[in-house]
Structure 1
């Protein structure tokens, strides 16, 4: 969505990027830039953020820093006879920066890897929608065009979220199914139809997890008295046998109650959880949903297993992709200045020089054999 609007002011972004490349190209230029920075009353920098064009959040970070050093960048460009962004281009950059700030915050929430994110998905989706429909963008023709283009993409991909992510939202005790109703009501969908579909999937998954729990506990209930006696004798200590016996009694009691209870129409864990009131938290409070399920695992043993699995699903692949991203280490920070052909040639050269395993006549590869020894050079 963001790349759609970045194309509208591509020239302004290119001009800012080009000026930052000029400043950061050599240490001497960076030193000259810092001299201007200090005379302007700003904080000196060891370097400036240079974006990676296909990662819009890095473009936002670059523009965010460029706006802080706007005066210094313009003055440096004037002293070095380099073309700086015009006042109109700076105005467009400033407008874009303010517009993208909310999307940058949402990206940081989605790409976090230290806490679960799947249950936050729907809330951030509504926040993005609210930003796109904000009427304040109508006062600026450029921002109005941004919002319209992005909202078309939003409607295309995000009006019907994945059911797994909806279940993850339900498993947040602060939102439950009430937030799902609120979401579909807000976007104008058929709430009753969507909620029936959601409850069908919730029940389906709940029964699957209930079967898993039953399969793992049934062998304990079927242990005969002889087996229990032999296991107790083989345990080595009477205390361990007592613990095992106590556990078997507890499981047997649970089975007895479930088999002989007359109240077959009692509510399931899922029904109890959905009908219980939501946990009320302040908007600025950092609620730990994993800790809540761990604390309430005795009350909801089956649902806690569901929550463990569903809340572990990451919303974004950013964190996993960045862990395996080697472009910065292999090609450096200024790789965006190079053409695709040059990048490919550099990557191949590194593999040939470092990872090439060459053997000739049974002897290992060496730099002297490839380029010629000193003796050979003398003979020539």
Structure 2
């Protein structure tokens, strides 16, 4: 569970709440921030008996780095008034990659935490929602290159997820293309009667040709979007406006 009341801008010392995982991070992060103060207190106050040793500070630092990723992603999702779908994939990828690295980490405490957290992640998050992945593709700062990069990091170069991505993109394009309205124009002679069937058939052939050309233009525009240079990832843009 998480505790949104623990989100804060300043560093401070606070007590850990066993049922609130983010309070554990905030407690350790605050203590580590004041590490030098605790060290000085141990040297200057003989009544301070429970000082933290260097090895323990190193463990705390490793735990903070691990939990900090989860904390920042949770803060982003819950702290944004209108979180857009393009935020989803990149942040869930970061959490998954951090979990996998932590499982192999020499810090036994961080490793133990990651092993316990991974089943929950797999249950709720590992099966990426493809529609939300598509939202990242249409973020001009990421496009397909970023999604492919993430999949390769997580699953290897020849993973089926990349194939699924391109198949879904193609399917969505064809679906929306089929919904583009076409118009049948009836040509009439000066007297107001319909022109002969032979001429009408030829005009229908022309209409079909125009529809094919229109589809080609749309496909070219879609390809052009993917081939254009990506925007700088540091640029802050409003995806809904874009």
**Would you say same fold, with TM above 0.5?**
yes
Once the two structures are superposed, what CA deviation does each residue of 1:5-42 show, in whole Å capped at 9, x if it has no partner?
A: xxxxxxxxxxxxxxxxxxxxxxxxxxxxxxxxxxxxxx
Q: Which residue of 2 aligns with 1:281?
A: 231
Once the two structures are superposed, what CA deviation does each residue of 1:269-322 show, in whole Å capped at 9, x if it has no partner?
A: 47623442245233433244334x2xxxxxxxxxxxxxxxxxxxxxxxxxxxxx
Q: In 2, distance between residues paired with 1:47 and 1:128?
A: 25
* Greater relative contact order structure (CA < 8 Å, 6+ sep): 1
Contact 2:14 2:30 in 1 (8 A): yes
1:164 to 110, 121, 131: 131
Q: Which residue of 2 aligns with 1:227?
A: none
Q: Which residue of 2 aligns with 1:187?
A: 154
Q: In 2, distance between residues paired with 1:147 and 1:109?
A: 21
Q: Which residue of 1 aligns with 2:210?
A: 263
Q: Which residue of 2 aligns with 1:141?
A: 108
Q: Which residue of 1 aligns with 2:189?
A: none
Q: Which residue of 2 aligns with 1:66?
A: 31
Q: How large is the Cα RMSD of the aligned pairs?
A: 4.2
Q: Deviation of residue 139 (structure 1)?
A: 3.1
TM-score (norm 2): 0.60
Aligned pair 1:199/2:170, yes or no? yes
Q: Which residue of 2 aligns with 1:6?
A: none
Structure 1, unpaired ranges of 5+: 4-44, 219-258, 294-380
Contact 1:106 1:124 in 2 (8 A): yes
Contact 2:102 2:110 in 1 (8 A): no
Contact 1:57 1:104 in 2 (8 A): yes
Larger radius of gyration: 1
Q: Which residue of 1 aligns with 2:197?
A: none
Alignment of 1:69-148 (within 5 A): 69-70=34-35, 75=41, 84=50, 87=53, 91-114=58-81, 116-134=83-101, 138-148=105-115
2:143 to 168, 172, 176: 176
Q: Which residue of 1 aligns with 2:194?
A: none
Q: Deviation of residue 51 (structure 1)?
A: 5.0
Moved more, 86-95 or 183-192: 86-95
Higher helix share: 1
Alignment of 1:185-334 (within 5 A): 185-188=152-155, 189-190=159-160, 191-201=162-172, 203-204=174-175, 206=176, 260=207, 262-265=209-212, 266-267=215-216, 269=218, 272-276=221-225, 277-291=227-241, 293=242
Distance 1:166 1:68, change over 3 A: closer
Q: Which secondary structure does the structure 1 equivalent of 2:210 belong to?
A: coil
Query: How many positions carry a matched residue from both structures?
Result: 202
Q: Deviation of residue 117 (structure 1)?
A: 3.3
TM-score (norm 1): 0.42
Structure 2, unpaired ranges of 5+: 3-9, 184-205
Q: Deviation of residue 119 (structure 1)?
A: 0.6
Q: Deviation of residue 130 (structure 1)?
A: 3.0
Q: Deviation of residue 162 (structure 1)?
A: 1.2
Q: Deviation of residue 161 (structure 1)?
A: 0.8
Q: In 1, distance between residues paired with 2:230 and 2:77?
A: 23
Q: Which residue of 2 aligns with 1:56?
A: 21
Q: Deviation of residue 165 (structure 1)?
A: 0.8
Q: In 1, distance between residues paired with 2:13 and 2:230?
A: 43
Q: Which secondary structure does the structure 2 equivalent of 1:142 belong to?
A: helix
